[in-house]
Structure 1
Amino acid sequence: MSKKCLIIGAAMLDIIMEIVRLPRSGEDMYAKGQKMTVGGCAYNAADILKHFQVDHTFFAPVGTGMYARFIEEELKRSGHESAVKSGQMDNGYCLCMVEADGERTFVTMPGIECRFEKEWFDSLAGEDYESAYVSGYEIEGEGGDVILDFLESVPDILVYYAPGPRITYIPDEKRDRLYRLHPVLHLNETESISATGADTAEDAALLLAEKTGNVVIITLGDRGVLLCEGGKTSVIPAERAEVVDTIGAGDSHIGAVMAMRALGNSFEEAVRTANKVSAMVVGVKGPTLTKEQFEKGF
Structure 2
Amino acid sequence: MKTLLIGAAIVDLVVHLPHLPKRGEDVETTDQQISIGGCAYNVAKAMQSFAESADMFFPIGDGFYSQLIRRKLAADQFTSLVTVDQSENGYCLCLVEPDGERSFVTVQGIESEIRTAWLANLGQYDRIYLSSYQCLGDNGRRLVTWLKKQTGQLYFAPGPYTKKIAPEVLQQILMLQPILHLNEAECLALAEQSDLHCAMSVLFQQTNRPVIVTLGAKGACYYDGQPHYVVGTPAKVVDTIGAGDAHLGALLALEAKGISLLDALPTANELAAKVVGVTGATLEEEI
Q: TM-score interval w.r.t. the shorter chain?
A: over 0.9
CA distance in 2, matches of 1:272, 1:140: 33
TM-fit CA distance, 1:141: 4.4
Counterpart of 1:147? 143
CA distance in 2, matches of 1:106, 1:86: 26
RMSD between aligned residues: 1.4
Counterpart of 1:248? 242
**How far does the alpha carbon of each residue in 1:91-147 deviate from its partner, in whole angstroms, 9 at most, with x for none?**
111000111111111000111111111111233221xx2101001110124422222
Q: What letter corresponds to residue 238 of structure 2 in structure 1? A: V
TM-fit CA distance, 1:78: 2.4
Counterpart of 1:25? 23
CA distance in 2, matches of 1:75, 1:280: 22
Counterpart of 2:189? 194
TM-fit CA distance, 1:220: 1.3
Counterpart of 2:133? 137
CA distance in 1, matches of 2:237, 2:78: 27
Counterpart of 2:61? 63
Counterpart of 2:102? 104
Counterpart of 1:295? none
Q: What does 1:168-207 correspond to in 2, within 5 Å?
A: 168-207=163-202
Secondary structure at the counterpart of residue 289 of structure 1: coil
Counterpart of 2:113? 115
Q: What does 1:143-292 correspond to in 2, within 5 Å?
A: 143-154=139-150, 156-229=151-224, 231-290=225-284
CA distance in 1, matches of 2:247, 2:118: 27
Compared CA separation, residues 65 and 225, structure 1 to 2 (3 A): same
| Kept in 2: contact 1:134–1:160 (CA 8 A) | yes
- Given the two structures, how large is their TM-score scaled by the length of structure 2? 0.95
- Given the two structures, how large is their TM-score scaled by the length of structure 1? 0.92
CA distance in 2, matches of 1:238, 1:168: 28
**How far does the alpha carbon of each residue in 1:148-196 deviate from its partner, in whole angstroms, 9 at most, with x for none?**
2221111x21010001011222111111111111100011111111222
TM-fit CA distance, 1:55: 3.1
Which protein has greater RCO, CA pairs closer than 8 Å, 6+ apart? Answer: 2
Q: Percent identity?
A: 39
Deviates more, 1:15-24 or 1:190-199: 190-199
Q: What letter corresponds to residue 40 of structure 1 in structure 2? A: G
Superposition misfits of 4+ residues, deviation over 4 angstroms: none
Deviates more, 1:66-75 or 1:195-204: 195-204
TM-fit CA distance, 1:88: 4.9
Counterpart of 1:87? 85
Secondary structure at the counterpart of residue 54 of structure 1: coil
Compared CA separation, residues 88 and 205, structure 1 to 2 (3 A): farther
Secondary structure at the counterpart of residue 98 of structure 2: coil
Secondary structure at the counterpart of residue 53 of structure 1: coil
CA distance in 2, matches of 1:217, 1:26: 40
